[in-house]
Structure 1
Amino acid sequence: MDAVRVSALRERLTGTGWLEEVGGFAGALRRSVERRSASGLLLVGTEAYEPWHLAAHLDDEAAWSDVPRLAPTLLRHSPPADAPAHLTHDLRRLTEAGRGDTVLVVVPRAAGAALLERVHDARRRGATVLALDGGSADADGSDGPDRLTAPGGSGGPGGSSGRGEPHGLDELRRLAHERLTVGTAAEGPFDLAQHLVSLAAGQRTGRRSVRDRLADLAGRLASGPAITRW
């Protein structure tokens, strides 16, 4: 996601309500990791999709905003044995998750049964579960690469498509305490949503407008993030 595209989308999305939904989701994430009892942020995707970029940007925001608990532990389905130590955490970490942990599930297209089972168990033990998913295309193919959908799945806050979602997305959304759905799994908007969530999570509520946050994001992308761990 480049700075030019972010700047253009800043104007297009303002007033749609979608940026406010992103801000609400990011605020829930930040509050969860800032709780006195919070012990860590666990970030997990699917076997086919590991949310590297979100991990990197949350790591940066943790440093920029002085909220160390925003720095995630990336959980991987099959980490290679020769990976750096911080990239060797696998799904067994979810079996230990419980009260004080925040589990952020990032699923662009499908949520497998094994992942859902572990997330369900983590929630049962008291973990806070948040979900960022890519939704699914409408039967008529109207979900284009630039469509962004608020958490209800209808293109606006609180709506409902009336259709069951494939690949366990319905189940994931039932498990999540907070969720954000991003239209389709098209690469552009799903990548954008992760940028916006990480940026908004690093900003304290009420300090700056959403437009200012997007302008800040465009500036950071133009200069490049100071990513060291990822």
Structure 2
Amino acid sequence: MDAQHVALLRELLATTPWLDRTEDFAKALRRTRDPGGLMLIGAPDDEPWHLAAHLDDEARYSGLPQLSPSLVRWQPPPDAPDHLRIGLDRLAEARRGQTLFVVNSEEEAPVPLLERIDDARRTGATILSLDQGDRELSSLAHEAISLRPEREPLTFEGLQHLVSTAAGQPGAGADRKPGLRERLSRFLDVVSGPRIVD
């Protein structure tokens, strides 16, 4: 789905709550602190390749490297390129300030996935979930957006496009509180006064 189709989809959904919901969810995505801190995982037999590619594009276009996800794979081939060889051990390294984005297109997440999500949550990672009405998965997530396609004018793939596009839009993270570095930089600017550049 290209940008023109996403714009058309946004226009069609303008009178529904979906745009606000995806923009709120995108703000949570943008709160990931550092590049490499966003992990993306799906069910063992349904890796979210498509969404990973779109988030990577949005990271480049928007100048927000923290949106470029690490695609966590259940059984990565040992001869795969480095960025496609990230296995489940990455979840064991999840810490506060990092985000685990779970995409589950099935009605219920498999138990091994739920166990790994719970482990990452316990080590301080923020859990985001995009699912199709999975209550157990949603209960583990700090932020969740659920779609029941039989009840909504939107497909699961369309929802992924809305979320990734919203994540890269200016202003999606405008209500984020500035971090320590940003506050310190502002303070130093005020104290040192204006800089003169020759």
1:47 match: 44
Give me the whole-angstrom Cα distance separating, in 2, the residues matched to 1:195 and 1:176.
20
Alpha carbons of structure 1 residues 89 and 122: separation in structure 2 relative to 1, 3 Å? same
Give the conservation status (yes or no) of the 8 Å contact 1:75–1:90: yes
Give me the whole-angstrom Cα distance separating, in 2, the residues matched to 1:115 and 1:55.
18
Q: Please, which of 172, 182, 193 is the counterpart of residue 159 of structure 2?
A: 193
Alpha carbons of structure 1 residues 134 and 42: separation in structure 2 relative to 1, 3 Å? same
Give a deviation string over 1:57-90, Cα, whole Å, max 9, x none: 1111111111111100000111122211110111
Give a deviation string over 1:25-52, Cα, whole Å, max 9, x none: 011111x21x4x7861000001111111
Q: Please, which of 179, 192, 203 is the counterpart of residue 144 of structure 2?
A: 179
1:226 match: none
Structure 1: which 4+ aligned runs deviate by more than 6 Å? none
Give the conservation status (yes or no) of the 8 Å contact 2:166–2:172: no
TM-score (norm 2): 0.78
Give me the whole-angstrom Cα distance separating, in 1, the residues matched to 2:4 and 2:63.
28
1:87 match: 84
1:118 match: 116
- Unaligned 5+ runs, structure 2: 174-198
2:176 match: none
AA paired with 2:158?
L
Structure number with greater Rg is 2
How many residues are paired up? Answer: 170
Per the TM alignment, residue 204 of structure 1 is displaced from its structure 2 partner at its CA by 2.4
- Relative contact order higher in (CA < 8 Å, ≥ 6 apart): 1
Per the TM alignment, residue 3 of structure 1 is displaced from its structure 2 partner at its CA by 6.0
Give me the whole-angstrom Cα distance separating, in 2, the residues matched to 1:17 and 1:77.
34
Per the TM alignment, residue 134 of structure 1 is displaced from its structure 2 partner at its CA by 2.2
Per the TM alignment, residue 92 of structure 1 is displaced from its structure 2 partner at its CA by 1.6
Give me the whole-angstrom Cα distance separating, in 2, the residues matched to 1:190 and 1:26.
16
Corresponding residue SS for 1:53: helix
Q: What is the aligned-residue identity percentage?
A: 52
Alpha carbons of structure 1 residues 114 and 18: separation in structure 2 relative to 1, 3 Å? same
